[in-house]
Amino acid sequence: MPTRRRWKPKWSEPCPCASGNKFKDCCWRCLPDFDIGKAYFQAIKENRFDRALVATRADITQYTIWHKTNTAPVIARSGAVSKLLRIDVNALGDYVSRLSWLYFRLELWKDWPAVLERLRSNIQHPSWYKRITYHLAFHYLGPGGDRGKARQELAKAGPITKKEDDLELLRLYGDLEFDDLPFAARIEILDRILELDDDRENQLQYRGAKAVQYFMIGDAQTAEQQLSDALAMVQQTEKDDPLEGYEKHIYCRLLQLKGSVRHDKQILKASALEFQALLLEPNWTRSGKANIHREICNSYRYAGEWDQAETASREAIALDGSQLDKVHLAECLLYLKDTDAAASEIDAVERETLPHHEFEDFVFAYSAIAIWSNKAERLTEAKTLLQGLGTADPIFNDRRLNLLLRVTETLASGNASAAAKNDSTPTGGVATASSFFLLQPTLAGLGIDFSEVLEYMARKTPKDTPDGLD
Ligand SMILES: [Zn+2]
């Protein structure tokens, strides 16, 4: 093997860690060499985030030196996109993910896009530029962000197909674009994600996502098969490798979904108990707890256990007062036969703040309440809402059209028929739309908040070590 000339940043040039400082004033003193990553984990353990930032910057500089010394010359010589390059993009990408979390945690988020621009030249290859684009798009999903801008940014990565190798990019693509993709394209993307990562958490989440897709086109049988396979995977591995963190959450959701697809009350109640058990774990944020109560409410709503569902929705509201929880509370009150209370609860919902699928929930609940209350103004409003609702997924479109028929009929006859009342209960269709989308590929919408997603990325350890090191 020829001796490689070790690449080093120039003394007075910007440091490769993208801090904005010159190398001589930045990382050169603390390059970790083969102890890469160690100082970061130590600092995290001690909750010293400022030190973690210094350590991660040095890790990035170290890895960049390795890349430019070992991999870059190979690419320059042969032009081939090698396995080495893939390893470098993933490893350096993971350090950049940590850096993103620290910028967020240390309230430096506004500087983050400029840092990313500086990191662009660390690996001079389109697959790295794509990774930078991914981070820029992800940045727009943060607090006060804008999904539209995130989509515009992601579009710069070029068309994303079933041949895409970048797992993170595929996941983000799923999160941002799924609603606009046809069924076959969605399945292709999900299969690609499953193919690229054997990790159990990835398998559970994306098999669950496939089940949701089949369920939404009305193929309950395939949906159930997918869910059973995923749940069997947990049974087979759980003893040697207990479920942790998000995996547990995903497992509970798979159980809930299976109960819902099979209309099986026992499974649904079992899923509610599993969610209850999750609440016993330490370190939940308020919004994290509220999310779990929302899930418990969903399990009981699908099981038709309205008292318990009501309690759970009130717990969620007390914790963070989401508008979606109010929609669910209104629904519980309706099926507990308190139509007036349900009506005043649904009127208090700030409907304009609800995102797409949550707005669907609102419209379905509003329409059911309108039918049961049999008031002309309410029915007219429900009719307008249902007509204006654009929902592409067959199962929810069926529910929309059915409710539209019942609302129109009740309005014309001045009386809600038994059939109309029956169709506006959960047995007449799926109770709500929004929770089914939680198992879609998602980064920022896993029922956890944005900073928790970033923390999750920050805990990830890069799997591959750089190849060809001297
Ligand atoms: Zn530096």
Residue 1 scores a pLDDT above 70: no
Instruction: Give dist(CA 169, CA 127) in Å, integer.
Output: 11
User: pLDDT of 190-201, one tens digit each?
Assistant: 999 999 988 898
Residue 450 scores a pLDDT above 90: no
Average pLDDT, integer, range 363-388: 94
Of 176 and 15, the structure prediction assigns the larger pLDDT to: 15
Rounded to the nearest angstrom, the distance between the alpha carbon of 469 and the centre of ligand 1 is 21
- Structure tokens, 287: 């919004």
Alpha carbon 241 to chain centroid, angstroms = 24
3 state SS for 16-35: CCCCCCEHHHCHHHHCCHHH
Rounded to the nearest angstrom, the distance between the alpha carbon of 105 and the centre of ligand 1 is 19
Rounded to the nearest angstrom, the distance between the alpha carbon of 294 and the centre of ligand 1 is 44
Cβ-based neighbour number of residue 197 at 10 Å: 15
Rounded to the nearest angstrom, the distance between the alpha carbon of 114 and the centre of ligand 1 is 15
* Least confident span in 23-37, 336-350, 417-431, 441-455: 441-455
How many Cα atoms occupy the beta-carbon half-sphere of 277 within 13 Å? 13
- Structure tokens, 19: 């801090």
Q: What pLDDT was estimated at residue 347?
A: 96
Question: Could you tell me the pLDDT band of residue 458, with boundaries at 50, 70 and 90?
Answer: low
Instruction: Give dist(CA 207, CA 223) in Å, integer.
Output: 9
Rounded to the nearest angstrom, the distance between the alpha carbon of 451 and the centre of ligand 1 is 24
Which residue spans within 292-414 are E strands per DSSP?
none
Average pLDDT, integer, range 45-67: 95
* Least confident span in 115-119, 200-204, 425-429: 425-429
Average pLDDT, integer, range 115-122: 96
Residue 11 scores a pLDDT above 80: yes
Rounded to the nearest angstrom, the distance between the alpha carbon of 40 and the centre of ligand 1 is 14
Question: Which residues make beta-bridge pairs with 14?
Answer: 22
Question: Could you tell me the pLDDT band of residue 429, with boundaries at 50, 70 and 90?
Answer: very low
Of 357 and 433, the structure prediction assigns the larger pLDDT to: 357
Rounded to the nearest angstrom, the distance between the alpha carbon of 119 and the centre of ligand 1 is 11
Rounded to the nearest angstrom, the distance between the alpha carbon of 3 and the centre of ligand 1 is 27
Instruction: Give dist(CA 197, CA 105) in Å, integer.
Output: 28
Average pLDDT, integer, range 217-232: 92
* Least confident span in 20-29, 188-197, 356-365, 379-388: 356-365
Average pLDDT, integer, range 210-238: 91
- Structure tokens, 96: 């950049």
Of 431 and 234, the structure prediction assigns the larger pLDDT to: 234
Q: What pLDDT was estimated at residue 467?
A: 42
Q: What pLDDT was estimated at residue 80?
A: 66
Question: Could you tell me the pLDDT band of residue 423, with boundaries at 50, 70 and 90?
Answer: confident
Please say whether the beta carbons of 208 and 257 come within 8 A. yes
Residue 448 scores a pLDDT above 90: no
Q: What pLDDT was estimated at residue 447?
A: 40
Residue 28 scores a pLDDT above 90: yes
Rounded to the nearest angstrom, the distance between the alpha carbon of 470 and the centre of ligand 1 is 23
Which residue spans within 48-170 are E strands per DSSP?
none
Rounded to the nearest angstrom, the distance between the alpha carbon of 289 and the centre of ligand 1 is 38
Rounded to the nearest angstrom, the distance between the alpha carbon of 321 and the centre of ligand 1 is 43
Rounded to the nearest angstrom, the distance between the alpha carbon of 82 and the centre of ligand 1 is 28
Those residues with Cβ within 8 angstroms of residue 428's Cβ, 6 or more apart along the chain or in another chain: 399, 402, 422
- Structure tokens, 439: 């198992």
Q: What pLDDT was estimated at residue 430?
A: 45
Cβ-based neighbour number of residue 468 at 10 Å: 14
219-249 burial: b if 16+ Cβ within 10 Å, else e: bbeebbebbeebbebbeeeeeeeebeebbbb
- CA angle 398/401/407 to nearest 5° reads 140
Residue 145 scores a pLDDT above 80: no
Instruction: Give dist(CA 288, CA 304) in Å, integer.
Output: 25
Rounded to the nearest angstrom, the distance between the alpha carbon of 145 and the centre of ligand 1 is 28
Rounded to the nearest angstrom, the distance between the alpha carbon of 88 and the centre of ligand 1 is 19
Instruction: Give dist(CA 342, CA 21) in Å, integer.
Output: 59
Domain positions in the chain? 1-124, 142-197
Average pLDDT, integer, range 39-68: 94
Rounded to the nearest angstrom, the distance between the alpha carbon of 137 and the centre of ligand 1 is 24
* Least confident span in 73-77, 232-236, 249-253: 73-77
Average pLDDT, integer, range 134-148: 83
Please state at what angle helix 450-459 crosses helix 83-105, rounded to 10 degrees. Answer: 130
Q: What pLDDT was estimated at residue 146?
A: 83
Q: What pLDDT was estimated at residue 465?
A: 45
- Percent of all residues in the chain with a pLDDT value above 90, rounded to a whole number: 49
Instruction: Give dist(CA 281, CA 100) in Å, integer.
Output: 27
Average pLDDT, integer, range 229-255: 90
Rounded to the nearest angstrom, the distance between the alpha carbon of 60 and the centre of ligand 1 is 8
Rounded to the nearest angstrom, the distance between the alpha carbon of 176 and the centre of ligand 1 is 33
Q: What pLDDT was estimated at residue 263?
A: 86
Rounded to the nearest angstrom, the distance between the alpha carbon of 157 and the centre of ligand 1 is 27
Average pLDDT, integer, range 378-396: 88
Average pLDDT, integer, range 373-389: 94
Look up tokens 């049988």; give the residue: 221
- Percent of all residues in the chain with a pLDDT value above 70, rounded to a whole number: 89
Rounded to the nearest angstrom, the distance between the alpha carbon of 21 and the centre of ligand 1 is 7
Q: What pLDDT was estimated at residue 434?
A: 61
